[in-house]
Amino acid sequence: MKQIAILSGKGGTGKTSIAGAMGFIAENRAVLCDCDVDASNLPLTTASKVIKTSDFSGGFAAEIDYSKCVSCGICAKVCRFDAVIKDSGSYQIQKNLCEGCGYCSVVCPVKAIRLTPVVSGSLSLSTSRFGSFIVHADLHTGAENSGKLSSQVRAMAREIAAIEEKDLIIIDGPPGISCPAIAAISGADFVLFVAEPSQSGLSDYKRALELSQKMRIPSGLVVNRADINPEITELLNRTARQANSEVLGSIPFSDVFPRALRSLKTVPELQDCPTDILNTLKNLYHSITRPNTQGDYK
């Protein structure tokens, strides 16, 4: 099974548009998954029907049993996250600040505090218009542990791929380079970077590339809206080559991207998708799915 993660570092480079396009070209050969659990957009342009949804619990939070509590305040003293506040004589846990470390429950002299699971999002399985499954999730706003939800999205996608005997998983990654991004690419066979040719795009690409190198995952680069700044496009490609990352081509600026978005479709689905863009996307799909796409790593 080949798992391909699409990542960008910076948001807004066209990662989700490319992921949707790859999903459409793959038809029913792939399982898609959206690991941007903060702002899950891939299903907007690809999904047709939600099959099932389940609650996600990202961790625990402390809960006080007031029939036992003697208001001694030890819990508030030991909490490093300022999650215990005193309100008109009684101590209260602020669930949004509680990290679930359990320190308070261990030191409570009357055993009045226990840890309870917190529902902080949902995990869903949908079908796409082109016959594939899409695993996606929604983290409640302001919640923690999006990395863990990302891992669960990945795990469900692998499960579905195994049951349905699909040998390809396409992962739409989150922006950034910390735990959600790490969870989205760890164990992937290939990372496709989608970068835009700007100073910030270059800076973000370099940091994201460094992450994939640290994790020893082979990668490739596609530059979106390449003609907006040809010099930086060249700089991006040079950065990729120096890191033994594959240069997989460029996509010119085109209004077909925003138009596809507005009609809630993937780019290759539009009847008037320019031939050069369609071909670039098809070639990109073939490059990333061919069996031996490997850089110097692994």
Partner 1 sequence: MTITIMSGKGGAGKTTLSVSLALELAERGKHTLLVDLDVEEPNTGIFIDKQGDKRLEASVMQPVWNSALCSHCGKCTSLCQFHALVKLPDGVMIFPDLCHSCYACSDLCPVGALPMKPARIGEIVRYTAGNHLLFIEGILDVGQEISSVLVRQTRDIALSEDVEIRIFDAPPGTACAAREALNRSDLVIVVTEPTPFGLHDADLALKLSRASGKKTLLVVNRADGEFPEMEAFLKKENITVTATFPWIRELSQSYSEGKLDPKGFPGFYASLQTLAETILNSPEGAR
Partner 2 sequence: MKTGFSVSKNLLEKSPLDSSFGRAPGFVTFENGVWTYLDNTQVADSPSGAGIQAAQQMVNAGVKIFIGGHVGPKAFAVMRQAGIQLYEGRPALSVEENLTHLQEGKLAELNEANSF
Q: Is residue 178 a contact residue for partner 2 (CB under 8 A)? A: no
Which class for 279: exposed (0-12), middle (13-18), buried (19 or more C-beta within 10 A)? exposed
User: Residue 57 binds what, of partner 2, partner 1, none (CB under 5 to 8 Å, by partner type)?
Assistant: partner 2
Selected from 173, 174, 220, 268, the binder of partner 1 by CB under 8 A is: 174
Using CB under 8 A, pick the residue from 126, 128, 146, 237 that binds partner 1: 146
> Of the ranges 87-95, 158-166, 259-267, 285-293, which one interacts with partner 1 (CB under 8 A)?
259-267
In angstroms, the CA 273 to CA 293 distance is 27
Q: Which of 50, 51, 70, 107 binds partner 1 (CB under 8 A)?
A: 107
Quick check: 60 binds partner 1 (CB under 8 A)? yes
178 lies in the binding site for partner 1 (CB under 8 A): yes
Q: CB–CB of 193/13 below 8 Å? A: no
Determine if 116 is a binding residue for partner 1 (CB under 8 A): no
Query: Smallest distance from the beta carbon of 35 to partner 1, in angstroms?
Result: 12
CA 246 to CA 39: how far, in whole Å?
A: 29
Per CB under 8 A, contacts with partner 2 among 46-75 are 57-60
CB 64 within 8 A of CB 93: yes
Which CB atom, from 164 or from 227, has the smaller least distance to partner 2?
164
Query: What track of x and - describes contact with partner 1 for positions 18 through 57 (by CB under 8 A)?
Result: ------------------x-xx-x--xx------------
Question: From CA 117, how far away is CA 84, in angstroms rounded?
Answer: 18
Query: Contact between 122 and partner 2 (CB under 8 A)?
Result: no
* Total site size for partner 1, rule CB under 8 A: 62
198 binds partner 2 (CB under 8 A): no
64 binds, among partner 1, partner 2, none (CB under 5 to 8 A by kind): none
The reply on whether position 228 binds partner 1 by CB under 8 A is yes
Binding site for partner 1 (CB under 8 A): 8-13, 16, 36, 38-39, 41, 44-45, 60, 78, 80-81, 96, 99-103, 106-107, 115, 139, 141-144, 146-147, 174-182, 196-201, 203-204, 207-208, 210-211, 214, 228-229, 232, 258, 261-262, 264
Binding site for partner 2 (CB under 8 A): 57-60, 117, 148, 186-187
